Amino acid sequence: MVEDTASVATLYRTYLTPLGIDINIVVNGHDAIESLNHRIPDLILLDLRLPDMTGMDVLEIVKKTHPDVPVIFMTAHGSIETAVEAMRLGAQDFLIKPCEADQLRITVNTAMRKAEKLKTDVGNPKNHRYQGFIGSSQNMQSVYRVIDSAASSKASIFITGESGTGKEVCAEAIHAASNRRSNPFIAINCAAIPKDLIESELFGHVKGAFTGASTDRQGAAEMADGGTLFLDEICEMDLDLQTKLLRFIQTGTFQKVGSSKMKSVDVRFVCATNRDPWTEVQEGRFREDLYYRLYVIPLHLPPLRERGEDIIEIAYSLLGFMSNEEGKAFNHLSPPVVERFISYEWPGNVRQLQNVLRNVVVLNTGKEITLEMLPPPINSIDIQSASVLRGEAEAPQSDPVIFTEQDILPLWESEKATIERAIEACEGNIPKAARLLEVSPSTLYRKLQSWEQRKEVN
């Protein structure tokens, strides 16, 4: 316990006596950090304001040197911003002083139980799994800690990460680790549902609300009552619907399409996007007030190329499953394949790794996967070219291009030309062009429609 007020430290020690734990009290940040050189605690109770430094400073140092030690903040100067920042830096929980005895005991007991569970899940070299995830890299352990810390809260979680990094797996992990786990987890993909249907999918509709509405229908919000509502690709949501979603988040109430009756539900919001949500706000595609409502606890999933040896762990797990499913005997990756997997950039992340392994297992036989079995493009990229892609080796220099004012086009024209070239290169396959441009198909359809309308006006 890091607490500079002796009377408070004594009181909290008394509160925790029934737990039968050994409590070492220090009065400043320097002593707290120094004590770690002699004994690693199971838990740190840390005051935010200390005589020599802030609790945030202590937390940052602790997480660099002993990332697995759980930390609970205690402060009389709490705010949601401070809580979010503490959890971003790795805090397990956050308490506002003065603490009631039961509240302190429950929080400490829960934190120590979670820490023990995390050691079981990711500390055993034979079991690098956590709530559906595979891997024990430092990047992923940071993700696991945020999930464990935030799962029991009702605070909204905003997951960001490239396509294929496992954002829905992350949302399911948050639900599974929460006290809502016995209630529904409902996911809705905002990019996959047409604009005129997504409100009905989210809130439901009554019979006769529109053509084809032959019966009353529950929406995702109602089905998720008591559980978790996951809004995937939320930055693709239409601005008009964003307004209704904001009202739903603020009040917990909504109206079915075609109904005047309000319904009330209790849901926990988790959302995700492969874009930068703040950029979407600045460019007018995402409401700023909705951003602040949802972006309470940010959680970023690292791309596969930044996860080191996790790539091989995931590959072996997928290989075992796919070999069994396809009735094949594959059980080993050759050393050159291991090297290629680690050096490759994996722009499609875990989803691309799945596709590569599925291709190999279906089209080949044997026990060991070799380089010759790998499909393009991974079969034709060597270590040197992968290094060039990462900027680790110099690319060939070309003569400089002189760019003048006459060469400048309006941004929409440049964007239009790029999109049209991409669609042409993909032989008119818009979903494929969207994937290569790293946007959703609905974005391309919307832009093509707006350009067509512009042409008609002119």
We report the CATH number of the domain holding residue 255 as 3.40.50.300
For 425-446, how does the pLDDT look when each residue is reduced to its tens digit (9 = 90+)? 877 777 677 778 877 666 777 7
161-162-166 Cα angle (round to 5): 70
Q: What is the model's pLDDT at position 453? A: 65
Q: What is the model's pLDDT at position 442? A: 64
Asked if 114 and 154 sit in the same domain, the reply is no
Domain boundary among 122, 150, 169: 122
CATH code of 336's domain? 1.10.8.60
Positions in the chain whose pLDDT score sits under 50: 121-127, 382-398
3-state secondary structure string across 203-217: HEECCCCCCCCCCCE
Asked, for residue 401, whether it belongs to a domain, the answer is no
129, β-bridge pairs: 134
229-199-279 Cα angle (round to 5): 70
Q: State the Cα–Cα distance between residues 347 and 254, nearest whole angstrom.
A: 39
Asked if 101 and 170 sit in the same domain, the reply is no
Q: What is the model's pLDDT at position 458? A: 60
Asked, for residue 397, whether it belongs to a domain, the answer is no
Asked if 250 and 341 sit in the same domain, the reply is no
3-class state of residue 142 by DSSP = helix
Asked if 289 and 142 sit in the same domain, the reply is yes
**What does the buried/exposed string (b/e) look like for 206-235 if buried means 16 or more CB atoms within 10 Å of the residue's CB?**
beebeeeeeeebebbbbbbbebbbbbbbbb
Asked, for residue 130, whether it belongs to a domain, the answer is no
Q: State the Cα–Cα distance between residues 130 and 224, nearest whole angstrom.
A: 24
Q: What is the model's pLDDT at position 392? A: 43
Cis upstream peptide for 376 (omega within 30°): no
For 90-139, how does the pLDDT look when each residue is reduced to its tens digit (9 = 90+)? 787 778 788 888 878 878 887 777 666 655 544 443 445 788 888 888 88
Asked if 60 and 167 sit in the same domain, the reply is no
Domain total of the chain: 4
Asked if 28 and 105 sit in the same domain, the reply is yes
Whole-model pTM: value is 0.59
Q: What is the model's pLDDT at position 127? A: 42
Domain boundary among 300, 329, 348: 300
Asked, for residue 152, whether it belongs to a domain, the answer is yes
Asked if 17 and 71 sit in the same domain, the reply is yes
Q: What is the model's pLDDT at position 130? A: 81
Asked, for residue 67, whether it belongs to a domain, the answer is yes
Q: Both ends of the chain: CA-CA distance in Å?
A: 71
Spatial contact of 90 and 142, defined as CB atoms under 8 Å apart: yes
Asked, for residue 416, whether it belongs to a domain, the answer is yes
Token digits for 175? 């639900």
Asked if 272 and 327 sit in the same domain, the reply is no
CATH code of 81's domain? 3.40.50.2300
Enclosing domain of residue 108: 6-122
Asked, for residue 11, whether it belongs to a domain, the answer is yes
Asked if 178 and 318 sit in the same domain, the reply is no
Asked if 111 and 156 sit in the same domain, the reply is no
Domain boundary among 253, 269, 300: 300
Q: What is the model's pLDDT at position 220? A: 94
Asked, for residue 57, whether it belongs to a domain, the answer is yes
Asked if 310 and 295 sit in the same domain, the reply is no
Asked if 142 and 254 sit in the same domain, the reply is yes
74, β-bridge pairs: 47, 95
